[in-house]
Amino acid sequence: MAWRYLLVTEGAGFAEWRPGFLERLMSRLVPRANPGYDTKLHLVAAWAIEFQEGRPEREIGLDARGSPVVRGPSEDDYGFWLDSGMMLEDFTGAREMQPEEFEVLWAGR
């Protein structure tokens, strides 16, 4: 199976994260998989996802205008879909993307 690229709306529509005292304390004690995503997930309206052999490899969370707001994996964030266990065939209603489209978004242009 070759590389594939999808644009999906699954995993969008999160409420804004407002941590309470206990969550702030725990985040200092227990490392989180995606600390850079916490304050931005509510902005994600769609995801651009790169797959190899049916597994997510890279992901970009896009806002309502189509601008990148989160990317993973990165130095600090593992990734929302990379950590989900979902495979290519689990996504329904997705739009195929061209690799060049994905790379432009990944580069932040």
Q: What is the mean pLDDT of residues 81-107?
A: 93
Give residue-wise pLDDT tens across range 6-42: 999 987 766 565 666 666 655 666 566 678 888 898 9
pLDDT at 109 over 60: no
Higher-scoring residue by pLDDT: 2, 53: 53
Nearest alpha carbon to residue 58 among 101, 25, 102, 18: 102
pLDDT at 72 over 90: yes
What is the radius of gyration, based on Cα positions, of the chain?
A: 14
In the prediction, which pLDDT does 36 show? 82
